[in-house]
């Protein structure tokens, strides 16, 4: 959710933007080459690109990307190989580009990714509010549902 908000607020500052959600799940379902095609096709304006290898990019794509400042968000990465395939190396993109990665496992992040932001857990009241908004689409509930909601959040 935080990554999606960052994307929504910053995307207009970049020449190319792509938010790849649920990489953990999608890589198993579609395969990494398909995700790589989707990423670079989106960055380059929806072109149908010929990418058939997990390593590297065709030179014509690299040349175009080096001239672009891009924002890429890779959501729910669970393997460092996914980063290598999708994010490649720094020289793929123009200076000022940003790649934001969400993961449940810090070990996935390559050593050169220096800025790590760790999201803190919500406290009980924030958790209860979030649960009620999602489960009931409201903040305040009748007392019978309120007590049940508290038990669910506590669990």
Is 35 in the same domain as 67? yes
What pLDDT band is residue 143 in, cutting at 50, 70 and 90? low
- Tens digits of residue pLDDT in 4-54: 999 999 999 999 999 999 999 998 899 998 998 999 899 988 777 788 777
Instruction: State whether the Cα torsion 109-46-71-67 is positive or negative.
Output: positive
Q: Give the global pTM.
A: 0.77
Is 13 in the same domain as 82? yes
Instruction: Answer for the pair 91, 63: CB distance below 8 angstroms, yes or no.
Output: no
Q: Which domain holds residue 143?
A: 124-154
How many CB atoms are closer than 10 A to CB 11? Answer: 14
Any domain includes 36: yes
3-state secondary structure of 81: helix
What pLDDT band is residue 115 in, cutting at 50, 70 and 90? confident
- The whole-chain average pLDDT of the chain stands at 85
- Residues in Cβ contact with 74 at an 8 Å cutoff, skipping those fewer than 6 apart: 20, 23, 82, 83, 86, 87, 99, 100, 101, 102
More confident residue, 36 or 113: 36
3-state secondary structure of 123: coil
3-state secondary structure of 91: helix
For residue 113, pLDDT over 60 is answered with no
Is 84 in the same domain as 148? no
Is 137 in the same domain as 94? no
Q: Comparing C-alpha atoms, which of 86, 84, 70 is closest to residue 35?
A: 86
Query: What is residue 120's predicted lDDT score, i.e. its pLDDT?
Result: 84
Angle value at C-alpha 104, between 103 and 108, nearest 5 degrees: 60
- Residues in Cβ contact with 83 at an 8 Å cutoff, skipping those fewer than 6 apart: 74, 77, 101, 108, 109, 110
The structure tokens 């390593």 sit at 55
- Tens digits of residue pLDDT in 61-106: 889 889 999 999 999 999 888 888 888 877 788 889 998 988 888 7
Any domain includes 116: no
The pair of structure tokens assigned to 105 is 């496992």
Number of domains within the chain = 2
């Amino acid at each position: 959710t935080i990554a999606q908000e960052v994307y929504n607020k910053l995307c207009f500052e970049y020449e190319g933007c792509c938010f790849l959600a649920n990489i953990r799940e999608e890589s198993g379902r579609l395969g990494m080459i398909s995700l790589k095609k989707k990423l670079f096709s989106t960055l380059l304006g929806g072109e149908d690109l010929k990418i058939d290898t997990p390593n590297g990019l065709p030179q014509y794509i690299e040349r175009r990307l080096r001239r672009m400042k891009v924002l890429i968000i890779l959501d729910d990465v669970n393997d460092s190989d996914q980063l290598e395939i999708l994010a490649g190396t720094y020289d793929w993109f123009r200076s000022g580009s940003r790649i934001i990665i969400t993961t449940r496992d810090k070990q996935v992040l390559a050593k050169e990714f220096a800025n790590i932001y760790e999201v803190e857990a919500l406290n009980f009241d924030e958790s209860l509010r979030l649960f009620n908004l999602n489960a009931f689409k409201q903040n305040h509930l009748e007392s019978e549902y309120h007590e049940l909601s508290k038990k669910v959040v506590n669990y």
